[in-house]
Amino acid sequence: MGSKNKLKRFKENETFANVVQPTRDEVLEGFKYKGNWVSFFGNDHPIVLELGCGKGEYAIGLAKRNPDKNYIGVDIKGARFWRGAKTALDQDLKNVAFLRSQIELIHHLFGANEVSEIWITFPDPQIKYKRTKHRMTNPDFLKKYKQILNPEGTVNLKTDSEFMHGYTLGLLQGMGHEIRYANHDVYKNEGAPKEVLEIQTFYENQYLEKGKPITYIQFRIH
């Protein structure tokens, strides 16, 4: 994407009613929607996050299926989620928002028990050992997710990375978290939830064309 196109999208994001772009200082010094997302959506429906949302395909796809839930795509790359934000506006989806921020600040963006579910779709697996701290299912991230999830809250990981799948399964088992469902090839093995099979991201379609298996884990953090 050219720099002119990016700048255009950044400018458009500033005009979108469904996009929230706090500064880092605003997040750290007391983000106005933390514990108060009901004031943004105008209702107290359950909140579901798509972390590292990219173009927001899952946030949009899930919002269409579940009008009684509010969805928030979180990503630092505003030029990417511009697509999802524009689609939501064009289709008048009032239960979708996009939040531009770093994922490691997630516990500053949402209050305790404020989130009912988290989706992590095709994150960078950060395979090199020195990148462990950036893996979105490492112990530090899980701790932050626990802070904002309600007691029954679940986390969903969908990835093409066998490494990420295996790493997460091993970590969850070792830490005593509850693995509710795991599948190393959702399109070949039966039992995956409908939303896992029916919603596909741009990158997922590319992986499927190459014959890569898509994995999925649903778990609870204890």
Any idea which residues carry the catalytic annotation? 124
Q: Are 110 and 47 within 8 A, CB to CB?
A: yes
CA distance 166 to 59: 25
Number of Cα atoms under 13 Å in the Cβ half of residue 215: 17
What are the residues whose beta carbons fall under 8 Å from the beta carbon of 209, sequence distance 6 or more?
Answer: none
Q: Is 165 helix (H, G, I), strand (E, B) or coil?
A: helix
Find the distance separating the first CA and the last CA of the chain, reported in whole Å.
Answer: 41
CA distance 220 to 146: 9
